[in-house]
Structure 1
Amino acid sequence: MLASTELALLRRLAHEQSSCRAPSIVAAVVRDGELAWSGGRGRVDGETPGADTQYRLGSITKTLVATAVMRLRDEGKLDLNDPLEQHLPGTAFGSATIAQLLSHTSGLTAESPGSWWERTVGADWDALVESLKDGATRLRPGSKFHYSNVGYGVLGELVARHRGQSWLDVIRAEILRPLGMTRTSPHPEGAHASGFAVHPFADLLMPEPSPDAGAMAPAGQLWSTITDLARWTSFLGGHTGGVLSEQTVAEMREMVTVDDGDAWTTGFGLGVMLIRTEGRRLAGHTGSMPGFLACSLVDANAGIGALVLTNSTAGVGITQLCLDLMKLTEQHEPSMPAEWQPSTVDPKLLELTGLWHWGPTPYHLRLLPGGLFSLAPADGPGRASRFAPVGEDTWVGLDAYYAGETLRVGRDSAGKPNHLDLATFIFSRTPFDPAAPIPGGVDPEGWR
């Protein structure tokens, strides 16, 4: 980046470290799948922390566990609508579905019974299940958002049962190694920051514990570095490295539930936290463990993300800092639009494009890059969706009102397209074209 951009980013980071009294803090910006800038402030063992200094990720761990679950789904080993009982029999909360566990809508209790799991040595799976025999489900599954750390302990066990090895070994083999995340581990290795609480009324520190969380570890055990977390932030933005398809990661980023009422600004997809602010739609996760805070957010549409790691229990505005780093980057170095280039188009697809009518309302059908179609009102608001091909003259909706619905092309006796059938709605080339199978028929006297 330009020196002026780097100075602006470092100054914002320095302000956060100083004003929030963080023992140390590191941050980075990713752009188009690459680490574009990183910086550090404060001290770790007397030195300024760098891109290879480990910090605890906390709940960002959940996004890796969710990815392992989605790999199982894509392999056909489970369905997201499956009840947990089908895969982990014998629990008191087996009616919750896998999708509900991923999106924090299972109704499962937020924390494991007994001592605060983040500060004590964790129990094994059998002990966790035993502790959840009574009162584990706090809300009706599917009724509303209720963040559950326990739910991700459960998903970690689900992954382990299907793969025949620990959730951590699965994460290492299927995610960390393929993505080159060599400095992500369950406990600190090499250069790392120690976790501290900062006294609220004096400039003093208190060391925080970091025990192994046992069966609850999938909810927040992992440690990582700016370099590795930058790779993971890019992954969530769509640079998947083959670990998942881009379509599956996009599915994880889709809103499932909101956690803030009517006009959503925060919510969850499938294992991914979502934030909507200042015209952005961000995906990622925050993390909080004793002595540590973390945040990883990416705007997949703009191709930019930011991440922050600090060794302070509280008090650092990690989410706003990520947002500010992205904003500063775009203010100082706005991205260039991709060059438009013509492409080869199948004539059979080209003849489908143009003007169609739903009743008297005109719509435009356009070809998009990647072989997709867009169907949208010719003017003004209305139902608009993109469609992907699934067979001869057959398409499926990708988003908005028609997500998952089928669009079929109808042809006349000469093979020329004369109507579109979209979830029983008929679109014709002219308003209420009598040559098209308009539901209810067309008045024989026509327009008058």
Structure 2
Amino acid sequence: MTSSQQQLLPGTCRALLHRIAVAQAEGRAPSLVATVVRDGQAVWHGSRTSVDGHGPDEHVQYRIGSITKTFTAVLVLRLRDAGLLDLSDPLEKHLPGTGAGEVTIADLLAHTGGLAAESPAPWWERTPGSLRPELADVLGEQPLLHPVGRRFHYSNPGYTLLGALVERLHGAPWEDVLRREVLEPLGLERTSAQPQQPHAGGWAVHPWADALLPEPVQDLGIMAPAGQLWSTSGDLARFAVFLARGDDRVLSADTVREMRTPAAPAEPADVADGVSYGLGMQIQRRDGRLLVGHSGSLPGFLANLTISVEDDVAAVVLANCTSGPLLGAVGADLVRIVAEAEPRIPAPWQPLLEVDPAELELTGQWYWGTQAFALRLTADGAASLEPLSGLGRRSRFRANGDGTWTGLEGYYAGELLRAVRRLDGSVDHLDLGSFVFTRQPYDRTASVPGGVDPDGWRGLKQRP
């Protein structure tokens, strides 16, 4: 990935610079750096600074806090894809004796395990990890605050357990596994558990005066998988491309799509904002746009990674202050500026390479009861079923190679679509998860469950 500001129009670049300049000035951040990704490569970098004696660029490290959790989730899903665990497994199966063994791995990834948000005192982000040498020191005497699997409750101890799980199954430290299995394959050379020069210093900004206080930098010890990492806007831009597209050296496109799929319900306070959580990724609908990624904070640092997969645009924003600029809003605005000023140019339409007559026979109009749908074949080998009215259930389907199709999204995700044929080989109806689709509304010639009145459709005066 290369950085080339000329790939965006001058007006777009100025709008991006204006947005981060306002964020840095109004948020009183000692420094703020941002990178924007489009079509799989970095296309803009900007920064504003007043502290640290150097202008931050895409190679300067900042602490990224809980964005670390997304990296840890990647390691866990690699274990799942390798067949070493199942997400429905209770933790006790692989990591016994924690006191929270009934929680499943999926619960930990999605923060639905009922665990506490933080470890017992003292304040773990500002004290050495050596004060918490064992998992028991992270979980406390009563690890569970809520029933397992019932509600979303963000948990740093939960991701500490996932890090311990990674170490147990690999027989190696979390940091070493991360470097070998994720950082090196993706070329994230400036992402590390410990700061490497050049890096920003962490600052607290006085709420009522333009004064600074240096924040301590602590090694989080066994809680590192929840928030330890340092990275750069350049490296996180590369990571954003991976989270949007996948990379078979690390995780497939299907698995990263699974990470981006809501796995936890929104809290009541977040429902209005459309906020939910996947497997190690935050999900939000903002201004009609679906955004995924993660935020992060530790004393002295704020971080945000925001991706719009549909627009193929992502933004990374990093700052070195404990509080101040709302980086989630900044990241969303950077994505919106590019997506609206320079809308994604669709790929050229391409015809199918081959046409299967048996599949072509299934295209066209179908009825589920009285509702009209259209089945189409697309050049990528998939099929789509959409209501003609624009309202109702819709899905794309992947061919299974045996004449059946599996739903990829929405209500029909995972459901099987198949053509049911008569003895003479003609198509009687489509079966989709037991729902019958016919060529005419309640077609009398098709096998419709419950049957069809033999007198057919009638007007008001044609009562039986």
- In which range does the TM-score fall when normalised by the shorter chain? over 0.9
CA contact (8 A) 1:44 1:193 kept: no
The answer to whether the 8 Å contact 1:229/1:296 transfers is: yes
Counterpart secondary structure, 2:190: coil
- 2:343 is aligned with 1:341: no
Question: Cα deviation per residue 1:118-163 (whole Å; 9 max; x = unaligned)?
Answer: 1111148862225535211000011111000111001111111111
Correspondence list, 1:295-444, <5 A:
295-344=304-353, 345-444=355-454
Match of 1:26 in 2: 33
Q: Secondary structure at the match of 2:168?
A: helix
Percent sequence identity is 52
Could you say if the C-alpha distance between residues 158 and 329 of structure 1 is closer, same or farther in structure 2, counting changes exceeding 3 Å?
same
Per mean C-alpha deviation after superposition, the further-off stretch among 350-359 and 271-280 is 350-359
Q: Deviations over 1:44-84 (max 9, x none)?
A: 53111111100001000000111111111112211111111
Question: Would you say 1:83 and 2:96 are equivalent positions?
Answer: no
Question: Structure 2: how far apart are the matches of 1:372 and 1:263?
Answer: 34
Structure 1 position 150 matched with structure 2 position 157: yes
Deviation at 1:258, TM superposition (A): 1.3
Q: Using structure 1 for the length normalisation, give the TM-score.
A: 0.95
Q: Quick check: 284-293 or 112-121, which moved more?
A: 112-121
> CA RMSD of the aligned region, Å?
1.8
Counterpart CA distance in 2 for 1:103 and 1:397 is: 23
Q: 3-state SS of the aligned residue for 1:319? A: helix
Q: Which amino acid letter does the alignment assign opposite residue 52 of structure 1?
A: H
Q: Check the 8 A contact 1:184/1:222 in 2, yes or no.
A: yes
Name the aligned partner's letter for residue 439 of structure 1.
Answer: P
Structure 1 range deviating more: 126-135 or 373-382: 126-135
Which residue is equivalent to 2:266?
258
Q: Residues 241, 316 of structure 1: CA spacing in aligned structure 2 closer, same or farther, 3 A cutoff?
A: farther
Any conservation in 2 of the 1:12–1:325 contact (CA below 8 Å)?
Answer: yes
> Does structure 2 conserve the Cα–Cα contact (< 8 Å) formed by 1:125 and 1:157?
no
Secondary structure at the counterpart of residue 419 of structure 1: strand
Question: In the alignment, which residue of structure 2 is the partner of 1:67?
Answer: 74
Query: Which deviates more, 256-265 or 206-215?
Result: 256-265
After TM superposition, give the deviation of residue 230 of structure 1 in Å.
0.6
**Deviation of 1:188 (Å):** 0.7
2:292 maps to amino acid:
A
Alignment pair present for 1:279 and 2:288: yes
Letter in 2 for 1:437: S
- SS of the residue corresponding to residue 379 of structure 1 reads coil
For the structure 1 residues 380 and 300, does the alpha-carbon distance in structure 2 shift closer, same or farther, using more than 3 Å as the test? closer
What pairs with 1:232-247 in structure 2 (closer than 5 Å)?
Answer: 232-240=239-247, 242-247=249-254
Give distance in 2, aligned partners of 1:441 and 1:124.
Answer: 71
Structure 1: segments with no counterpart, 5+ residues: none
Q: CA deviation at 1:262?
A: 4.0
**Structure 2: runs of 5+ lacking an equivalent:** 1-7, 459-464
Question: CA contact under 8 A between 2:362 and 2:375: conserved in structure 1?
Answer: yes
- CA 22–11 in structure 1, closer or farther in 2 if over 3 Å, else same: same
Q: Please tell me the residue identity of whatever aligns with 1:17.
A: Q
Question: Which digits, 9 at most, give the CA deviation of each residue in 1:169-212, with x for residues without a partner?
Answer: 11111111111100000011120001010111222111111111
Give the C-alpha shift of residue 43 in structure 1.
Answer: 4.2
Q: 1:93 to 1:30 in 2, by over 3 A?
A: same
Instruction: After TM superposition, give the deviation of residue 365 of structure 1 in Å.
Output: 1.0
1:30 & 1:168 partners in 2: Cα distance? Answer: 27
CA distances 1:239-294 after superposition (whole Å, capped 9, x unpaired): 53642111111111111221335445211011100111111000000000010000
Alignment-mate amino acid for residue 296 of structure 1: L
Match of 1:292 in 2: 301
Q: In 1, Cα distance between the equivalents of 2:340 and 2:373? A: 37
Match of residue 52, structure 2, among 34, 39, 45: 45
Distance 1:439 1:185, change over 3 A: same
CA contact (8 A) 2:139 2:157 kept: no
Q: Do the aligned partners of 1:150 and 1:216 also contact (CA within 8 Å) in 2?
A: yes
Taking the TM superposition and a 5 Å limit, the aligned residue runs for 1:199-238 are 199-238=206-245
Amino acid at match of 1:274: I
Q: Does 1:104 find its partner at 2:111?
A: yes
Is residue 36 from structure 1 mapped to residue 46 from structure 2 by the alignment?
Answer: no
Q: Distance in 1 between matches of 2:246 and 2:36?
A: 15
Q: Contact conserved, 1:258 with 1:264, CA < 8 A, in 2?
A: no
Contact kept? 1:366, 1:374, Cα under 8 Å = yes
Q: 1:124 to 1:163 in 2, by over 3 A?
A: farther
Aligned amino acid, residue 10 of structure 1: L
Amino acid at match of 1:359: G
Contact 1:197/1:313 (CA < 8 Å) preserved in 2? yes
Deviation for aligned residue 1:9: 1.6
| CA deviation after TM superposition for structure 1 residue 14, in Å | 1.7
Asked if the contact 1:43/1:49 (under 8 Å) is kept, the reply is no
Query: Is the partner of 1:316 in helix, strand or coil?
Result: coil
Query: Which residue does 2:12 correspond to in 1?
Result: 5
